[in-house]
Chains A and B, each alone.
Chain A
């Protein structure tokens, strides 16, 4: 089965992860611009970061036969540095039209401050102007109210819920997000957000319409095989294959494909120039292969050192 991981901070991951993801069936990843673990203090570092996710990271993924897309935006934490935020807003329009940019994101609230609110709204307007989807990061704390507020603000700005992906959902937020017509994404990040088994319970309750699963893997203890593992468990628990395909592949493609920057042909039948330059390995060859999650997640310990 082919998978898309629509939220993966690959810039924080190793080549082992790319190998494991490719082996498990991941054909494409979306890398949202995010908070790198400590605050950036100059717009210059932000420019270099965005350049890296539209450039070098895309190349790195291509070496493993994985297509790499990204979203660009000012994250909610750094929105609280007004000087930085102003600088980022000035350069964002330029990056938003780069190849493979599938949304403005991840944006939204952290502590729900006035500055966060200001830059969230400005970025929604930018997305509207450029006709791009939006990826919303819902807050870790005061999540339920923060999620509702995010959607209220979107509607205040006349945004189309069908172009907005609300991420990091849980059992408490999913109902309202789906009822209001948004895409609901779930980050399989067991310690803080969502586990595989809980995710499968949600799929059993809510079905596969407008739901997508991602790993949100980053610099923390997280699992780049989150999508593949959830798919495996879902199949084991009797969820039909076509539904698993919807939540682990098709819905992400349908939602972010609205950008015009992400097409199935990118990995099934890539342009000749890409095959010569930036995309090594043809995933058609492994499209029909079963996920090999266990073999791929090579345990590196003293008994299993690879010596070349």
Chain B
């Protein structure tokens, strides 16, 4: 553990020196692997930089889980704060040691030679195995943005492998930073389709928009028509932009006998500036009070 990090933990403050994502990753790795393995990683990184071919790069990425294993990083609250401070929204709470090392190798390459990084990533992502895909996509916010990366992210979103999709959509600030509205809206919609949660999407509330609200209400009606339930999280993106028939949809959900669905709909209505919605909230004083007092929030609803 470096002195600055040790001091920071003692004083419960974040390190004063500004860290880069790469420095954090290398620190977390060195705190968790043997000295010999740590040396190996640094030697490999030097060799990759010196070599003209990508042979060392492929071998290093392949050997990382074999050498380091695949256990969770299990980062402390302080580490996670440092990550967020370094790259706003970066939340490596679910990263494993091999993910960290693989992303570190890519970040090093990008730092050394952006052109080479851009020329290589398509090949790397397309030839990745399952765990490797998840790892490489998890780090997307830490790489330099490029047309190549943007295209690869699109490919990952189109994947039918839910965990690959989640490695982009969840705990990753890349989409909020780089997606246009259409891609953003389709990511949220696909998250519902593949039955994953919306809460870990970074920027979910900030990027909510009227078109997404319309699309989601259409989707809710489709589900109701098929006699299928609707994720209560859907209403979170509808509330702030609901108008007209969308408010009726929210009212329908608010009438649900399912408490969570009812609470979610009232919470969403509370976020709607339309006076019609305000009036509806008043029909449910007990729930409205929960919303005002902060006992009914999206966090509390989604942690059930």
Contacts and interface: CB of A to CB of B under 8 A. Distances in A.
Given A56-B161, A59-B161, A100 B129 contact: yes
Contacts of B134: 277-278
Contacts of A47: 126-127
A299 interface: no
B59 A97 contact: yes
A137 to B, nearest CB: 23
Contacts of B4: none
Contacts of A274: 70, 131
A59 B129 CA distance: 10
A55 B161 contact: yes
Interface string A219-262: 00000000000000000000000000000000000000000100
A302 to B, nearest CB: 27
Contacts of A54: 129-130
Q: B interface, by DSSP: helix, strand, loop or mixed?
A: helix
Interface string B67-101: 00111100000000000000000000010100100
Nearest to B128: A55
B58 A55 contact: no
B96 A273 contact: yes
Interface string A261-289: 00000000001111011100000000000
Interface string B167-178: 000000000000
Contacts of B231: none
Contacts of B133: 55
Contacts of B96: 271-273
A278 B59 CA distance: 23
A282 B95 CA distance: 21
Which of A47, A59, A93, A95 neighbours the largest number of chain B CB atoms within 10 Å of its CB? A59
B130 A99 contact: yes
Nearest to B63: A97
Size band of the interface chain B makes with A = 20 to 34
A95 B61 CA distance: 11
Contacts of B293: none
Contacts of B69: 271
A94 interface: yes
Interface string B126-159: 1111111110000000000000000000000000
A58 interface: yes
A41 interface: no
Contact of B127 (A51, A59, A278): A51
A97 to B, nearest CB: 3
Contacts of B132: 98-99
Nearest to B167: A277
Given A56-B161, A97-B62, A98-B62, A276 B128 contact: no
Given A260-B66, A276-B94, A51 B72 contact: no
B127 A95 contact: yes
Nearest to A98: B129
A272 B72 contact: yes
A58 B130 contact: yes
A277 B62 contact: no
B163 interface: yes
Contact of B70 (A58, A93, A273): A273
B11 interface: no
26 contacts: A51-B126, A51-B128, A55-B128, A55-B129, A55-B130, A56-B160, A59-B160, A95-B127, A97-B62, A97-B63, A98-B62, A98-B129, A98-B132, A99-B129, A100-B129, A100-B130, A271-B70, A271-B71, A272-B72, A272-B96, A273-B72, A273-B94, A274-B131, A276-B94, A278-B130, A278-B163
